[in-house]
Structure 1
Amino acid sequence: MPKALATISEEIDGFHRYAELYEAQGKNRDAAEYYRKAVAFAEKAGGFGKESVQSFRQKAEKLALAEKG
């Protein structure tokens, strides 16, 4: 894997892992923020599947609604 691609992959993985960690801890606001960061990064960097981006977006929206709940 080219170094640039590895860096991009690691960065979005980091956003995703933080989102999952916060979600597991019940910190919905923080989890939603990191899912949104993953979406923004994926859209800016390109090369990510629409399904992945949509999944992150849906999780962010769901958690934001749960936080308001």
Structure 2
Amino acid sequence: MSLSSFKREFARHYNDTPANYIKTKRLEKAAELLLISDERIKDIAFNCGYNDLANFTKSFRERYSCTPSDFRER
């Protein structure tokens, strides 16, 4: 299967692009870890596949409308 065929089929089944789907799953896992662990936010970001804390914080804020530290405090 070609890459474009895969992306098309993926979007048909999941109503999302593969990249957005992966990003969403990473952020969901990060949110879960923020609630259940005392790990540093930087470590959670790296464990969820982010190499840059600023990029993680920006993506997290776009998804959850708050920073990771605010999310943890709630």
TM range (shorter): 0.3 to 0.5
- Relative to the length of structure 1, the TM-score reads 0.46
- Relative to the length of structure 2, the TM-score reads 0.44
Q: Larger % of helix: which?
A: 1
Greater C-alpha radius of gyration: 2
Higher relative contact order (CA 8 A, sep 6+): 1
